[in-house]
Amino acid sequence: MPNILVLDCKQEISSFNPRPSTLEEFSILRGEDLFQHRGRNTELGGAFSVFDQRDDVTVLPTILAQGLSAGLLSASSWKTLSVDILEAVGARIGEADAIYAAMHGAMGADGELDPEGHLLTEIRKLAGPDMPIVISLDLHGILTDRMLRQIDGLTLYHTYPHVDFGSTGRRAAELLLRIIDDGVKPTIARVVIPALVRGDELVTATGCYGDLIRDCQRIERDGTALAAGIMIGNPFTDVPELCSQVIVQTDGDAKTAEAEAVRLASEFWPQRARMQGKLIALERAIAQARTMKGPVVFTDAADATSSGATGDSNAIIAALRKANYPGRVLAQIVDPAAAAAAHAAGVGATIKVTLGGAIDKRRFSPMAVEAQVKLLSDGKTRLETMKVPIEGGPTAVLTFDNFTVVVFSRSVFMFDRSVYYSNGCNPPDFDLTIVKSPHTERHMFDAWAEKNFNVDAPGSTSADLKSLGHTICKRPMYPLDPEVTFTPRAVTYQR
């Protein structure tokens, strides 16, 4: 005793990605296979490190379902997935004394815009009213009222770019054990802020958002709060409760939890304009890049596969070609047909294909190229940060003119260098590298690039939030609407 049931369910979607996601985008692990996460910098890895130290704790591993970021999950895939998860939980619930669920929080399915809320509601029904449930979430998640009503407590990422996966799981496991061992009763105060934010000020090591997160960590450390954090949501997941929100938990002290949450929200609100993406026009960025010795990086946050974009934007490559940019360019793109053509032709062959524009047809047009097939791979690698496997499907490195393009079959995460390294490409060897992620860890690109241009390109995860066309999230919402007022008000939850 105690027996702790563990599950993991994560996906982050962009409502503005036209391609629905399906179960094919999910990696599923079952039962003992979840222990593959032991020693990894993941939430499960962190939680296992806590549970494994205790002779009296038995972990009941159930299911892990992690989806690639993409468009809204199809109704049939969601039905199959949710039934699968609830059956896996149901099969072990009779032995369980407590539950830890690692989630992301930015899922969305056709017909269910709060999938995590549905899962937690059904898990609570299986568990009964008294079994402790603690969850962990990405700070880009959307924590809903329905989720808050089911759980006893939660922990949130404190870093962006994210590096604290393991410590978030560890903190969740420790909170759960305090509930079980010490009778701690978390009171959760929530303050909803009607603002969506983006941009460099969110980088926690250097931005003003990081100062607020450090304040959350301070009140955790000094014992004022059991756990605290500020969620900013994934601004591309257009669901009813999309927002920014402050979450502070205390041991039964509603007054302190509310006061701290209101204080943090009051400090967040005046900084909302600073926390917006600052983009440079593509043509201006190319003109500046020409004058630099380099190497330079073009950040294509609008096609960030980890935020839910398609990854098939060729907008920057097309603009560089049009401008006759002379330097050596390294780029990444998702195009299964081009990758298949390269695999069919073989290394050394010259192929005529189109690159990009095959998925997000509204925003991008296929670009015809005559390219050499330099390298073929199976697209299998491991993320640098979390060391979890990624599967890009048949992958090819194509070269044409001054361009080297890594072509994937699937929209894998491109927020670190693994997708380049595993295909024989070293970014500093090029004059200009395109990275399809809003931010990366500093040592990966920024430390050696002469400049990183945050370019204004089209895409379903553009930092120009007004360009996207939100229709579902509650309004008014800054910066989507001109007049937004805010009076911080805390709502508390306790089981």
Q: Where do contacts with Zn ion occur on this chain (CB under 5 A)? A: 138, 140
Residue carrying structure tokens 């979450």: 247
* CB of 234 or CB of 454, closer to Zn ion: 234
Q: From residue 97, give the alpha-carbon distance in Å to each of 129, 133, 332, 335.
A: 12, 9, 46, 47
Measured between alpha carbons, how far is 10 from 262 in angstroms, rounded to an integer? 29
Q: What is the dihedral of CA 262, 264, 270, 274, to 10 degrees?
A: -150
- C-beta closer to Zn ion: residue 409 or 462: 462
Select 306 or 433, whichever has its Cβ closest to Zn ion.
306
**Shortest spacing between CB 162 and Zn ion, in angstroms:** 6
β-strand 186-193 against 490-493: which pairing, if any?
A: antiparallel
What residues pair up with 319 in beta bridges, in sequence order? none
Token pair belonging to 174: 């420790």
Q: Kindly list the distances between the CA atom of residue 385 and the CA atoms of 41, 46, 49, 210, 413, in Å, as whole numbers in the listed order.
A: 7, 14, 18, 20, 11
Q: To the nearest whole angstrom, how small is the minimum distance from the Cβ of residue 138 to Zn ion?
A: 4
- Which is closer to Zn ion, CB of 40 or CB of 140? 140
* Least distance (Å) between residue 307 CB and Zn ion: 8
- Give the contacts of 276 (CB within 8 A, at least 6 positions apart): 197, 198, 199, 463, 465, 479
Task: Please report how close the Cβ of residue 64 comes to Zn ion at its closest, in angstroms.
Answer: 18
Tally of CB atoms within 10 A around 181: 11
Closest CB to Zn ion among 71 and 105?
105
Type of residue numbered 283: E
Nearer to Zn ion, 138 or 164 (CB): 138
Comparison of 66 and 402: residue with beta carbon closer to Zn ion: 66
| Beta carbon nearer to Zn ion, 138 or 238 | 138
- Tokens 């670009």 correspond to what residue? 367
